A and B are shown apart, each in its own frame.
Chain A
Amino acid sequence: MLSAADILDILATGATTRIEDPARAPAFAPGDEVVTRTLSPLTHTRLPRYCRGKRGVVVKVHGLYALPDVRAIGDEETREYCYAVRFDMRELWGPQGAATDSLTIDLWDSYLLPAPAEATP
């Protein structure tokens, strides 16, 4: 059982699943274009419906973190790279999105595929 002192210590220290593993290189780098997968698990995911099957660009590599989808069902071991990925509002919402604006969201390797080359019109 955690005492008051224990819990204050835990909250002051924090906890993260982030690890460093120089042997594992991220699959994507800032500037890479990606497409999000379409997934509908019955269990937890951090890939919202509004950005499934959408094309975006990686803007930052956050590092290796637990994958929420499997951690929610007890897998504390798996780590994947997590990236900030930016989408144009028009990609997410069509013509009702503002052309000036964007949405950035953190996505893991399991959610992402490399974007195919744009089709020539």
Chain B
Amino acid sequence: MAGQHDDHDHGDHSHNDHAHDGHDHDHFHRIHSQEADALLMSIADIEISARVKALEELLTQKGLIDPSALDAVVDLYENQIGPKNGARVIARAWADPAYKAWLLADPNAAIADLGFAGAQGENMVALENTADVHNVVVCTLCSCYPWPVLGLPPVWYKSMPYRTRIVRDPRSVLAEFGTVLPATTEIRVWDSNSEVRYLVVPRRPEGTEGLDEAALAALVSRDSMIGVTEALSPEPA
């Protein structure tokens, strides 16, 4: 049985027992603190705002964190990074077939070309919706999501109803969002559980032939880039 430090047979999948050598009971007890358990349980019903503040204060007093760094992070994800970034990527892909081909073939480079990159977007894959195939993304185990192009995930994406249902009955979930697909359409659900992050390229709506990229981007909703809806239709002229 392969141990944690073996350096042989990496290509041989009959020996890849790195994670599961029967010692995870020991690993669990090594990391587990009963004192931490007891403390967390004893304070679990104190107002969460007070518990967050106390954690920030103590870590600040210990010199582990700088409160101004927290302010900068909040500003970044609340005001600067969000689905408008992804909408620019999709609008460019709709407007420029060469860019779309690049986005599908080398998404990191194509997305970075518009200035978007960083944490939780290091290894992107773009999934193109067509008349025959509809892609939709979830993270059942936690809340993995492509931050540089979509910002932080909405509450419903992180919720138990979405995580439990979309992997088993995607049509009923899409219908709740108002997305009713032909019975013949193949739905591909992607459970985003690795370091790879997925961006759906929704279908370009009808009646958008004359629109420029800015007008196209306004039709690209956040939810259409997760895959629970189609892109918006243009207002009739």
Contact = CB atoms under 8 A, between A and B. Distances in A.
Interface in A53-83: 60, 62-63, 65-70, 73-75, 78, 80, 82
A14 B11 contact: no
A120 interface: no
B188 A42 contact: no
Interface string B83-113: 0000000000000000000000000000000
B171 A4 contact: no
Nearest to A8: B72
Contacts of A96: 168-169
A67 B187 contact: no
Contacts of B4: 70, 75, 78
A80 B17 CA distance: 11
Given A62-B123, A70-B18, A7 B72 contact: yes
Contacts of B187: 98, 100-102
Interface string A88-121: 0100110011101111111011101110000000
Interface in B14-41: 14, 16-20, 24-25, 27-28, 30-31
A93 B168 contact: yes
Interface in A24-73: 24-28, 37, 39, 41-43, 45-46, 48, 50, 60, 62-63, 65-70, 73
Which of A8, A24, A60 has the most chain B CB atoms closer than 10 A to its own CB?
Answer: A8
B69 A11 contact: no
Interface residues of A, number: 66
Given A14-B118, A45-B19, A101 B188 contact: yes
Given A3-B69, A18-B195, A70-B18, 17 more contacts: A4-B72, A7-B69, A11-B76, A12-B118, A12-B119, A13-B118, A18-B122, A43-B27, A46-B194, A62-B123, A62-B196, A69-B19, A92-B167, A98-B171, A103-B189, A104-B191, A109-B16
Interface of B: 4, 10-14, 16-20, 24-25, 27-28, 30-31, 63-66, 68-69, 71-73, 76, 117-123, 125, 140-141, 148, 167-171, 183-196
Interface of A: 1-4, 6-8, 10-18, 24-28, 37, 39, 41-43, 45-46, 48, 50, 60, 62-63, 65-70, 73-75, 78, 80, 82, 84, 86, 89, 92-93, 96-98, 100-106, 108-110, 112-114
